[in-house]
Amino acid sequence: MTPVIRVGTRGSKLAKAQCAQVAEELARVSGEEVELVEIKTTGDRSSAPVAQLGVGVFVNQLREALDREEIDIAVHSYKDLPTAQPEHFVVAVPPRADPRDVLISSGERTLSDLPSGARIGTGSPRRMSQLLALGRDFEPVPIRGNIDTRMARVGEDLDAVVLAAAGIKRVGRESEVSEFLDPLVMLPAPAQGALAVECRKADKTSARISSMLNDRYSQAAVEAERGLLQRLEAGCSAPVAALADVSEGAEPGLIDLYLRGAAYAVDGSAFERLSTTAELGEGGDAAAVGRALAEDLLDAGAERLLKSNT
């Protein structure tokens, strides 16, 4: 019989779309048949705000299926992963998609075109705090649901919604974007736009195949961003943002990394935002760069901001 690689995915339209992309690549590099296995997570079963549900709500059931060997590989949105990585799992990072946020608005208006008091939907405290920090008297409106559900509210009870560019592109609705938001205006969530292809370390075949999808530059970027998040001891729903730009270094094998990080008060009244640069060789610790920048943010007052949000 032809070997079958069982790939676990959440059941949302976006999750299945991004998993299908990974499955296609897995089939190409392995020459084996790939089967998608749909798994419902805690986050899929509840309409409560993610911050109330806790860490790992879109991940835990997929990991449990890996442990039970019901699937060989799980595909996650990397930003959904808890910062503490189980030692018996290994993660590969395919080339990262666009990490920016986008605005979907009525009348195709940009953020600067929206009037004072505009109602903007988002389920993210990070996005809410940055919208409020603009000083435009925008009204962030908490929303949950899939991309189609959120976008359907634009022009109804909302003037606009803010979503991740990667998700919009993956479900084929990029033509409806009103504005790609500059990271200087809206710094993304750590690891936004990246996928995590996770498998059991002991499963040498799956680990070898999934590692063939790993992109060194994308991996360095998300490790730096998540290193910052971990040191700040902030979960994926905290008002913390980070973005690493990576490029080829001056010499073969080197990577130049430019990392920006920020922590916000939920009400947008204050924030700390810093950046750093680093050069990484083979085996370089990108996460350490993120942790070091987090220390600088803490020294600048980020701890006070994050504690004020609890």
- Catalytic residue numbers, as ranges: 80
**Residue 262 to residue 99: CA distance in whole angstroms:** 16
**Residue 219 to residue 92: CA distance in whole angstroms:** 8
Under 8 Å between Cβ of 139 and 82: no
**Residue 276 to residue 274: CA distance in whole angstroms:** 7
